[in-house]
Structure 1
C-alpha cells in the first residue's frame, strides 16, 4: 500500500513549483512535510491525492503509475485516499450525517439504496464506522447535533472523522490544526496516531515544526523547488545533513 511521488515536476503556467520531488509513505507511518508558507506543501498533497497531474514524473500506488491506468482504476485509487483540508467544510446536517458522507459516496448505487431503506427503519448502513470515527475525535456524544452549532475546532474534528470513517489506506492532511486551539490540536494529533496504529499511512503538511516532532516518524523539508532533506524525524531535527535545514529549523533562514 505504499504511495510514492517519484521525480515529480510541476508548474503553474511559467512558474515552477517542483523540480524533481520524490517522497513515499508506507502503511502505519506518519510523514511530516515542513517548510515555509507558499513553498508548495498543499500542491504536493494535491498531487498525491490525484487532484492534479504532475507535468513530469509519476505518482505510484502499489508500484503502479496511477496516471497510466484507466479512469476506473484511478477512481479506485482515489477511494483509497482520504484528505482533510485546512478549513473544514460541513454540510447543513447532523454531525453523524457529515461523518457518514465518505462512506455513502463510496458505496455502489445498490448499496446506497439499501442505505436509504435501512435509514427508514432506523439502521443506517455504515453508521458504526462513522460513530467509531467520531469517537476517535471525541465527538460521539454530539453525533445527532446540528453540525452548524459546532465550534471551528469541533468542525475540523468532524472533517477528520469523515475522512477516517471509510478507513482509507492513505490519509493526507493539509495544515489540519493551523487555526485550532491547543485542546483541539491535541485531539487531532491523537487521532493521527490512532490512524497510524490502525495501519493507515499519514502525510501531514504543517508549518508547526513542534507538531512534526511530536507525531511524525519521518520528516521531509520542502524548500525552493523541492525536498532538500527527508529522514527520521529526530535525525532531521537534531542532526540535519543540509545546512539549509538547520537554518530553517532554527529560524535563521529568511524565506
Structure 2
C-alpha cells in the first residue's frame, strides 16, 4: 500500500502547523521526518494515521482519497496502519497479551477479514504472529512476563512488536527511540530494517540525525511551516538543495 499526502495544510487555534505539504511512503522504504521540536512531525504522523483530518489537502492510500470514503472503508485503511508513539502505553498484563492486542481487536473485522486474521494468528510452523514479532525485538523469552516489570526500553520494544504483529502495510513511528539507551535503540532500528525488508513502508519522525542517516532511504525536512526538502538520505545530508537544510543539520539554526 502506497501512502501519499497531497498539499496538506493543518493548524491549531488559528496557527498553521504546516501548509502545502506533500509526501509519499512506498512499500519497502523508510522515510525519516526530521525537524526541530514543535515543527509538526507528530501532527503529520497523526494525519497519515487517519487519527485527525487535515484542514486542507488529501491523503491517499493506493490511489483512494481516504477522507472521501465512507466511514467503514476509512476504518479498513486505518486498520492497515501501525503506529508507535514516543511513550509506550502497555496494559497491566503479560508481554504476550500486550503484543496480541492489535490482533484481538481486529477479530471484529467481519467475515471478509477473518481468514486473514487466522493466517496471522496461526502460522504453518505453529508460531503466532505476536510471538514472531516479539522475537523480532528480542523479547520472545519474556512473553509470559508481566509487562509492568519491564524496563522502559523493553516496554517500547513490546509496543513496537504490538504494531508489527498484525503485519501493517505502513508503520508510523513517532520518536520511538528518543528515551532509549543505545542497546534498545539498536534493537528497534534493526526491527525497522526487518519490517522494511518485508515490504512494509515506514515513516519515522526523529530528532536523531545519525539515526536518520543509518536507517532511512529518504529524508524529509520540516522547517518554517513547510516541507522544505525531501530526497535520498545521501543527498539531503551531503548535498542538500536548500541551504536551510544544511544549516539545520549542522546546528547553525537555533529554534
TM-score (norm 2): 0.93
Matched with 1:254 is: 254
Matched with 2:98 is: 98
Asked whether the 8 Å contact 2:90–2:147 carries over to 1, the reply is yes
RMSD: 1.5
Matched with 1:9 is: 9
3-state SS of 2:231 partner: strand
Q: Deviations over 1:76-114 (max 9, x none)?
A: 000110000000000011000000000010113788xx9
**Counterparts of 1:81 and 1:192 in 2: how far apart (Å)?**
15
**Counterparts of 2:121 and 2:232 in 1: how far apart (Å)?**
41
1:226 Cα offset (Å):
1.0
**Counterparts of 2:243 and 2:224 in 1: how far apart (Å)?**
14
Structure 1, unaligned runs of 5 or more: 115-123
1:254 Cα offset (Å):
1.1
Matched, 1:47 2:56: no
**Counterparts of 2:110 and 2:59 in 1: how far apart (Å)?**
32
Matched, 1:181 2:181: yes
- How many residues align structurally? 244
Matched, 1:137 2:128: no
3-state SS of 2:96 partner: helix
Matched with 1:204 is: 204
Cα distance, 1:235–1:91 mapped onto 2, change above 3 Å? same
Matched, 1:154 2:154: yes
Asked whether the 8 Å contact 2:2–2:61 carries over to 1, the reply is yes
Matched with 1:219 is: 219
Q: Deviations over 1:48-101 (max 9, x none)?
A: 001110111001101111000000000000011000000000001100000000
Matched with 1:57 is: 57
**Counterparts of 1:145 and 1:110 in 2: how far apart (Å)?**
32
**Counterparts of 2:69 and 2:18 in 1: how far apart (Å)?**
23
Q: Deviations over 1:204-250 (max 9, x none)?
A: 00000100000000000000111000000011000000000000000
3-state SS of 2:100 partner: helix
**Counterparts of 2:96 and 2:110 in 1: how far apart (Å)?**
22
**Counterparts of 1:196 and 1:219 in 2: how far apart (Å)?**
15
3-state SS of 2:20 partner: strand
TM-score (norm 1): 0.93
Matched with 1:121 is: none
**Counterparts of 1:110 and 1:235 in 2: how far apart (Å)?**
46
1:165 Cα offset (Å):
0.1
**Counterparts of 1:21 and 1:138 in 2: how far apart (Å)?**
37
